[in-house]
Amino acid sequence: MTNDAGAHDAVEVITAKRDRHELSDSQIDWVVDAYTRGAVADEQMSSLAMAILLNGMTRREIARWTGAMIASGERMDFSSLSRPTADKHSTGGVGDKITLPLAPLVAACGVAVPQLSGRGLGHTGGTLDKLEAIPGWRASLSNAEILDQLDSLGAVICAAGDGLAPADKKLYALRDVTGTVEAIPLIASSIMSKKIAEGTGALVLDVKVGSGAFMKDVDRARELAETMVALGTDAGVRTTALLTDMSTPLGLTAGNAIEVAESVEVLAGGGPADVVELTLALAREMLAGAGVTDADPADKLADGSAMDAWKAMIRAQGGDPDAELPVARESHVVVAPSTGVLTRLDAMAVGLAAWRLGAGRARKEDPVQAGAGVVWHARPGDAVTEGQPLFTLLTDDEHRFERALASLEGGYDVAPAGTEVTPQPLVIDRIG
């Protein structure tokens, strides 16, 4: 059956991948383009996505697939800027607010950061949802506004427009409902098509590993990171990746307004040690990729220049960086069941609790609550005393506490005082 007056048809491409053949360049170009135009049906593309998940793709196929997705839309061009560009992408984790302090910090070091971001789906939060907790802040900017802001301030965090890799938008929504999200060729091409089309000169990938991440084991995370680094490098983007731990959530908060507040603490020179460590590690990767060797990002946190860049960036998008952040109407405290040491805090359990409290959404059209989320008052290795607050749950709807508490159950352990907790390294590996 022919779907389109082109060189191929969908069944031929599906059966080729089903039978473990390598797809040709022309088959890949055709099927991505025909799907974007609606000439290949959703059921055909979902069958092909499942064949790719089961049988994989070679590096050549992945590179071609990525190129075809880039070609489905526009490419941004930052070559008119007077400073080099660098961006960061995280595969998503719980309490992962790093983009918020990172973008102004790197801008304060002289590199422009075009951070085109998304909203959260499921248990991992979205950068735009967090920033929208700031009164007045606007996520949508035109391409001209993005360029202007990068030129004048050096940092922009905004919504990725519909023009970037539209093939990915359609395919990602399909994968979400057909059990085909987890295919490494499809994840790598999805992320990298958007980042290459965005036009950044350098890119650092934060590939999360652990219970709260897409990739639960380090070997698959490394394979994903290597695939993405190769795609970026081949496209002329100086790309590196850090594999970082996501078995424990980052910092002390998961939510929207509460993560903004924690990010501001980091920009003020304080904040939780793990958030500061990862922000500085990623900043150093971005600066190296951009060829800037004479700036120390730790100095920019200490001397207030990263905070100045943050305030300017928030103001430029209509936000008031000094306004009070929204506070949830209801709160519920979970206390330590015994005296001892917190030996485990599971990222997935905390992420699900924050999501159930209203910080995240189940469907992409759902609203999120700015004040909802989870604050934890101890991290693995910390001593705790029976009855002390361990978690504070925040929401506008009291009825949400029950299901949030259920997701926290079994998500942490308190062992007798003196129990050794071996600290897990936050940065597990570097690729590139």
Nearest to 350 by CA among 424, 252, 249: 249
d(CA 6, CA 12): 12
Whichever of 90 and 240 has its CB closer to ligand URA, that residue is 90
User: Judged by CB under 6 A, which stretch of 68-76, 179-187, 232-240, 363-371 contacts ligand URA?
Assistant: 179-187
Bridge pairing between strands 389-395 and 373-376? antiparallel
Contacting ligand URA (CB under 6 A), which of 187, 230, 235, 354?
Answer: 187
Whichever of 146 and 191 has its CB closer to ligand URA, that residue is 191
Which alpha helices (H) appear in 251-378, and where do they start and end? Answer: 257-267, 273-289, 297-302, 305-316, 347-354
Which helix or strand (DSSP H or E) is residue 221 part of?
helix 218-234
Contact between 263 and 220 under an 8 Å Cβ cutoff? The reply is: no
Distant-in-sequence, close-in-space partners of 191: CB < 8 Å, separation ≥ 6:
89, 91, 205, 228
Contacting ligand URA (CB under 6 A), which of 65, 78, 137, 172?
Answer: 172
Provide the 3-class DSSP secondary structure of residue 247. Answer: coil
**165 in contact with ligand URA (CB under 6 A):** no
Whichever of 55 and 339 has its CB closer to ligand URA, that residue is 55
Angle at 298 between CA 301 and CA 130, to 5 degrees: 50
Subset of 223-282 contacting ligand URA (CB under 6 A): none
Whichever of 157 and 393 has its CB closer to ligand URA, that residue is 157
Q: Residue 181 Cβ, how far from ligand URA at the closest point, in Å?
A: 6
Q: Residue 172 Cβ, how far from ligand URA at the closest point, in Å?
A: 6
**190 in contact with ligand URA (CB under 6 A):** yes
Q: Residue 132 Cβ, how far from ligand URA at the closest point, in Å?
A: 19
Contact between 419 and 343 under an 8 Å Cβ cutoff? The reply is: yes
**128 in contact with ligand URA (CB under 6 A):** no
Active site residue 194: yes
Whichever of 205 and 394 has its CB closer to ligand URA, that residue is 205
Whichever of 7 and 362 has its CB closer to ligand URA, that residue is 362
- Phi/psi of residue 270, nearest 5 degrees: -115, -135
Q: Which of 17, 64, 175, 400 is catalytic?
A: 175
The 10 Å Cβ neighbour count of residue 423 is 7
End-to-end CA distance of the chain: 44
Q: Which of 64, 97, 130, 194 is catalytic?
A: 194
**205 in contact with ligand URA (CB under 6 A):** no
Contact between 98 and 278 under an 8 Å Cβ cutoff? The reply is: yes
DSSP letter at 398 equals G
Active site residue 152: no
Per DSSP, what are the bridge partners of residue 263? Answer: none
Angle at 342 between CA 336 and CA 347, to 5 degrees: 100
Whichever of 208 and 300 has its CB closer to ligand URA, that residue is 208
Q: Count residues binding ligand URA (CB under 6 A).
A: 6
In the chain, what's the furthest Cα-to-Cα distance? 72
Whichever of 85 and 190 has its CB closer to ligand URA, that residue is 190
Contact between 85 and 78 under an 8 Å Cβ cutoff? The reply is: yes
d(CA 34, CA 10): 9
Q: Residue 142 Cβ, how far from ligand URA at the closest point, in Å?
A: 22
- Phi/psi of residue 62, nearest 5 degrees: -65, -40
Show the binding pattern over residues 38-77: x = contacts ligand URA (CB under 6 A), - = does not.
----------------------------------------
Contact between 83 and 154 under an 8 Å Cβ cutoff? The reply is: yes
**191 in contact with ligand URA (CB under 6 A):** yes
Q: Which residue is nearest to ligand URA (CB)?
A: 190
The alpha carbon dihedral of 307, 313, 314, 315 has a sign of positive
Active site residue 8: no
Which residues are annotated as catalytic? 89, 168, 175, 190, 194
Which residues bind to ligand URA, rule: CB under 6 A? 172, 181, 186-187, 190-191
